[in-house]
Chains A and B, each alone.
Chain A
Amino acid sequence: MFRSISRLGFHATRQINFSRQLHIARVLLAQAQRQAGSTSKALDAPIVQYVKRKVEERQKLQSELSDEALSDEDIQRVRKIRELEPLQDAWTEWNRAKESLEETSALLNDPDPTMRSMAEEEYAALTENMNQLVENTFPSLLIPPSQTAHLSAIIELRAGVGGSESALFVGDLVRMYTRAAQSMGWDVSVISSNVLESGGIKDAIMEVKGKGAYDALRWESGVHRVQRVPATEASGRVHTSTVGVMVLPLTEEAESSADDDLFKMSDVKLEVMRARGAGGQHVNKTESAVRLTHIPTGITVSMQDERSQHQNRRRAFQILRARLMDRKLSQEVLERRDMRRSLVRSADRSEKIRTYNYAQDRVTDHRIGLSVKNLNMVMDGDGLQDFMRALQERHQEEMLEEVLSEQ
């Protein structure tokens, strides 16, 4: 591709001698930009300005490097210069493409039809290349890599408004997340659940193990609303119920109870849930429930579904760690926002984020205004991918906005 660009470039420079044609070319370029809206936007997009500033910064750093022995400051500069090298490369590519585009547009009206069609082809390719740079390459070089990319996830679901109908929907959501996780190749299991006698699940905790699970699922946190005629409803009236979903980052630790950077063991109160009378040889009942309380935050975790106390304890510590990690991450977001007054939207867990409307066979995510027809496909897990992808993209955009707003 570069070869063909330079060939056209050569043609173009030859033609610059004709001032009238040059003038036409400029007009044409302007027209072409108006037509190809994305390109014209791309040319002066804030991200382009930002990259330009960064590259200028790099050049300045280079000019400041002393010729002789490296000082400590120089070492800092060299590091920064090296960091910005990929961006510099992308910027060079951008400028080269931009120049070629200008040259090519001069040929769009060439009397020679062969030349014209070549120019058109080239023009399209260059436009595409520049869009790629603006939409993918620049952002990927500017957005800091996710600190949580390697983490697995814990999903906590809790029936909300709507009584047993809400509990039934918890069951539906557990199934939806199970299927979606399986099709992503993650290991998924329900590690705790409160099944109601009347059917449905009061609350459940799921574990989704796999790389990227947390980053993909984290936007599921919030209130999920279901509108449908309950199976138990004779009159056929549509009910509205809610389920609260909370997605937590899961970190795997070798020892479940060792101190780590999230909490100190001395801050955790460990209780067993029931008295055992004399205990020991006198009693062979399996009473393995445990409750942890993290004293500084007041977070409590109870676990009783596993057969041994140790297993329940390990699970409980896993969830405590996930909750503390979640806290830490939200805290970090808040601090960043305060510092930069960024545009990150609030991650309010009481916010109604999605509606599952059975009568209209439609699922709507209120944050991104995305509606998907074919509700069953969403509930089977496959359709959920569309939401997960769109929400991840939105997050990327927000991250980019945050970077660009930085002075």
Chain B
Amino acid sequence: MAASATSHLLKRLARSLGRGTDALEDARRELRWMKQALHSPPKGIKPDAKSLEEMVERRVRNEPIQYILGSVPFGTRLELACRRPVLIPRPETEDWALKLASVLRAQASPARPLRILDLCTGTGCIPLLLCAELPPGSVRATGVDISEAAVQLSAENARINGIAVSGGPGLAPAKNDKQENTFTPVLADLMDPDFVNRAGLEPPYDVITSNPPYIPLTEYEALDSSVRDWEDPRALLGDPVSSSPAAPSVPDAHLNKGLAFYHRIAALVRGHGLLAPDGWLALEVGDGQAEEVGEIVRRGTALRAVATWEDPYGKRRAVVARREGVCEEPSHY
């Protein structure tokens, strides 16, 4: 492409990204990523855009760069396909999931594989990261989501990254080869009273992870359009939109604070023996929610050792709990 055409795209992109001195630098970087995605995309992931112009036009309309590129690098080795409207994996999630992998590494072994359940799995980023980071044969992960698009994408992501897909809708169970980690995608509604049966879960699990929707309705309206207009509200909104009969009982003090899913998860852990006695519960939380989510876990479950882990930007981002023992944040991964 002629230099003048590229520089036109660069200017257009920079203007749309903001006014700061960073805008040009950001634009140049994004343009480079677009070229990379067009000419040498990660294996098995092709962006749906056909040209640089098309990509820039979409970006100018504030479409998230990850949907345009079609992929997100995640953890130390994953490349995840990323498509509207499935929630884009965030760096904060990558950070705590890597930390979790590093604390689980000590107990993960093919002799006794860890059974991992991820609720609201989206692209599958959390269970797939654990599959990729932990030794071969030491993980049997299940990822559940309410969205068909998410369930399909998570299965696709497992395959792209060479992780065996087992069971799931219309799929034969994978060979029970001890030498590989497996991922099972499941379509189910967490709020369904009969969730455990409908999802075909087989408790107990050694690790339960979740990045549930946690944005309060009031904040949702104020989100940047790149989030609000492009990503699935079902992955973001932590307050039930209508008072559906299936909605969990949320105490008045927690209404409209984006905490409904934490109450539901706590109830599942307590009521259904979902978590093994020495198991781990790790939940991502929104800005300012760590305290309350810690309380929900402490009161609603038998887990007594509760810690909050910070993200790289200084926010308390994950609540990690066990029945007893230590679940402090590792100093690095």
Contact = CB atoms under 8 A, between A and B. Distances in A.
Interface string A268-297: 001010011111111111111010000000
A283 B91 CA distance: 10
Interface in B64-81: 64-66, 72-76
Contacts of A270: 312, 332
A311 B73 contact: yes
A378 B30 CA distance: 34
Interface stretch (B150-158, B169-177, B212-220, B242-250): B212-220
A255 to B, nearest CB: 9
Nearest to A265: B332
B305 interface: no
A280 B287 contact: yes
Given A278-B287, A281-B215, A304-B29, 11 more contacts: A256-B76, A272-B312, A275-B313, A280-B315, A283-B227, A284-B224, A288-B91, A290-B312, A308-B72, A308-B74, A310-B98
In the A-B complex, the 5 residue pairs with the closest CB atoms: A278-B287, A308-B73, A272-B312, A309-B91, A284-B64
17 contacts: A266-B331, A278-B287, A281-B213, A281-B236, A282-B219, A284-B66, A284-B231, A286-B66, A288-B91, A305-B29, A308-B74, A309-B312, A310-B73, A310-B74, A310-B94, A311-B73, A314-B76
A280 B94 contact: no
A288 B231 CA distance: 20
Contacts of B230: 284
A286 B65 contact: yes
A275 B312 CA distance: 10
Contact of B94 (A275, A304, A309, A314): A309
A266 to B, nearest CB: 8
Contacts of B311: 279-280
A233 interface: no
Contacts of B331: 265-266
Chain B contact patch, size range: 35 or more
B286 interface: yes
Contacts of B74: 308, 310
Nearest to B22: A274
A279 B227 contact: no
B187 interface: no
A281 B235 contact: yes
Contacts of A266: 331
Interface of B: 24, 28-29, 32-33, 64-66, 72-76, 87-88, 90-95, 98, 211, 213-215, 219, 223-224, 226-227, 230-231, 235-236, 284-287, 311-313, 315, 317, 331-333
A124 interface: no
A284 B286 contact: no
Contacts of B98: 310
Contacts of B92: 279-280
Interface in A249-276: 256-257, 265-266, 270, 272, 275-276
Nearest to A313: B312
A337 interface: no
A275 B226 CA distance: 18
Interface in A59-91: none
Contact of A279 (B29, B90, B226, B332): B90
Contact of A257 (B64, B94, B317, B333): B333
Contacts of A284: 64, 66, 88, 90, 224, 226-227, 230-231
A266 B331 CA distance: 9
A284 to B, nearest CB: 5
Contacts of B29: 304-305
Contacts of A256: 76
Nearest to A306: B73
A36 interface: no
Given A276-B313, A309-B95, A282 B73 contact: no
A288 B214 CA distance: 23
Contacts of A283: 90, 224, 227
Contact of B73 (A257, A281, A304, A307): A307
B286 A281 contact: yes
Contacts of A306: 73
Contacts of B219: 278, 282
